[in-house]
Amino acid sequence: MSKIALFPGSFDPITIGHVDVITRSLNLFDKVIVGVGENTSKKYMFPLEDRVQWIKDSFTEYDQVEVLSYSGLTIDFCKRIQARFILRGLRTSADFEFERAIAQMNHYLDNGIETTFMLASPQYSPVSSTIIRDIIRNGGNATPFVGEGVKLK
């Protein structure tokens, strides 16, 4: 049985920190599916189609990486794609507390799917999509902080 991990998120936009976690996780999993979540109650800066394409363009040389969009519960999406692992990156202790609660609830919903945490590489700890969106909104150059495939207008 192959080890498939889902790396879920909104990726609005994908950051160099996300890219780092995904790339490093390829040593642990046979396949990593980047799941771009679509939450109708959330306002995104970039359209879903752009976010999906940017991730695909950031991983063109990696056959182990697949990009799919989804809505609904992450745990249900894992079942549909046969992922037995959820991969989450942690930058700070606050990230851990937030992610721990979600991981425990997901475990309650399906104890056959494990959440795996990967610490951010130190140089990427301050990078977040929220900060990048703020840089973009205020006319700054966010290019050094996003995945290679991201084409900011």
The pLDDT of residue 148 is above 90: no
Mean pLDDT (whole number) for 62-89:
97
Give 147's pLDDT tier (boundaries 50, 70, 90). confident
Query: Tens of pLDDT along 5-23?
Result: 999 999 999 999 999 999 9
Percent above pLDDT 90 for the chain = 92
- For residue range 29-46, what is the model confidence (pLDDT) as tens digits? 999 999 999 887 889 999
DSSP string of 52-98, one letter each residue: HHHHHHHTTT-TTEEEEEE-S-HHHHHHHHT--EEEEEE-SHHHHHH
The class that CATH gives domain 4-145 is: alpha beta
Q: What whole-number distance in Å separates Cα of residue 78 and Cα of residue 37? A: 12
- Expressed in angstroms, the distance from the first to the final Cα of the chain is 42
Residue 108's pLDDT is 97
Catalytic residues: 18, 42, 91, 129
What is the pLDDT of the chain when averaged over all its residues? Answer: 95
Angle at 118 between CA 111 and CA 80, to 5 degrees: 40
> Is residue 153 pLDDT above 80, yes or no?
no
The predicted structure's pLDDT at residue 74: 97
Residue ranges of domains in the chain: 4-145
